[in-house]
Amino acid sequence: MDKLVSVIVPAFNREKTIKRCLESILGQSYRGLELIVIDDGSRDRTGAICDSYERKDSRVKAFHNTNSGVSYSRNYGMKQAAGDYVLFVDSDDYINQSYIKNLVEKAENEGLALVVGSLVMKTEGKEERFDMNNYGADGAIIHDYYALQKFMGGYVESCIAAN
């Protein structure tokens, strides 16, 4: 499998969580990835941390803009992306070591343009699981995406899509 995955991470004032996030992405068993991290005008050390990762790993591209919001940063990241697939990861999240490999294998083996994984949300010691295997897609990407948002209460971040 030699498909390039562009992982886009928008970040604003996340100096406490950004290292764990970036390490989880760079530690993937799937090596064919580029990491595009966009510092959205942070006032803490987030931007400096992103720059340090860019200096030590050639797969990392760090960008900085004035605070424009997560949607602007994701769209900016998409313009920089060279990958066959695009994956969004929030800067306060982390992913397991085989996460990208599993998503790419699913997309490639089944000829899919959009793959949505399961999600575990941990809040105040409580864990809530969303199992996407129980969702039946109809094949129209835009319909499926919005249906998933409704299913998850407006919270979809665990998906990979063909670029």
pLDDT, tens only, 76-128: 999 999 999 999 999 998 888 999 998 899 889 888 777 776 666 667 777 76
E-strand ranges in the chain read 5-11, 33-39, 60-64, 85-88, 114-116, 119-123, 126-130, 159-162
Q: How far apart are CA 113 and CA 161, in angstroms?
A: 6
pLDDT tens digits for 38-83? 999 999 999 999 999 999 999 999 999 999 999 899 999 999 999 9
pTM: 0.81
Strands 60-64 vs 33-39: parallel, antiparallel or unpaired: parallel
The span from the CA of 162 to the CA of 144, in Å, is 14
Categorize the per-residue pLDDT at 156 as very low, low, confident or very high, splitting at 50, 70 and 90: very low
Angle at 128 between CA 50 and CA 124, to 5 degrees: 65
Whether residue 134 is predicted with pLDDT greater than 50 in this model: the reply is no
Buried b (16+ CB within 10 A) or exposed e, 68-81: eeeeebbebbeeeb
* Both structure tokens of 58: 């050639």
Task: For 33, list phi and psi in degrees, rounded to 5.
Answer: -140, 155
d(CA 69, CA 154): 17
Q: Output the pLDDT for position 39.
A: 98
Provide the residue type at 151 as one letter: F
